[in-house]
Amino acid sequence: MTPQELAEACAAALYAGDTASQSLGVRIGGVGPGRATATMTVTSAMLNGHAIGHGGYVFLLADTAFAFACNTYDRVTVAAGADVSFLEPARAGDELTATAVERARRGRSGLYDVTVHRADGTVLAEFRGRSRSSGTPILGPSGH
């Protein structure tokens, strides 16, 4: 299996069990070794008391792209920590895309940057995630 095929197979397996992302309409795309995108439309149920997108949902979208990017090597990998800077508010109806890119991976640890933007290109948030791999295969011992 090529690295691209492996990344796609890992993403498919991860998404199959990701009820949080599925229930919020998060779509995964652009998956490759150490990278992934996640897209979500902001609904009225995602607004806070200021009638703007709740930061928790923006964080969730960034965290989802991060998760899919760091799980492209067939090793169960989880967040060890993350930070986010909110730059602009999200609004109901906005289609948001989070683009995750691997910056470093050494041993069982990784560092990933995620940019969340609207369809018009406006950047809403910058996220940095730190990952830790358990070493357990995502696809099982046979790789399937």
How do residues 65-82 score in pLDDT, each as one tens digit? 999 999 999 999 999 999
Q: Is the pLDDT of residue 137 over 90?
A: yes
Neighbours of 68 (CB within 10 A): 27
Distances (CA, A) of 118 to 8, 38, 89: 25, 12, 10
Distances (CA, A) of 46 to 41, 57, 125: 10, 7, 16
How far is Cα 4 from Cα 117, in angstroms, rounded to an integer? 25
Instruction: Give residue 14's pLDDT.
Output: 96
Residues 3-133, CATH architecture: Roll (3.10)
How do residues 6-55 score in pLDDT, each as one tens digit? 999 999 999 999 999 999 999 999 999 999 999 999 999 999 999 999 99
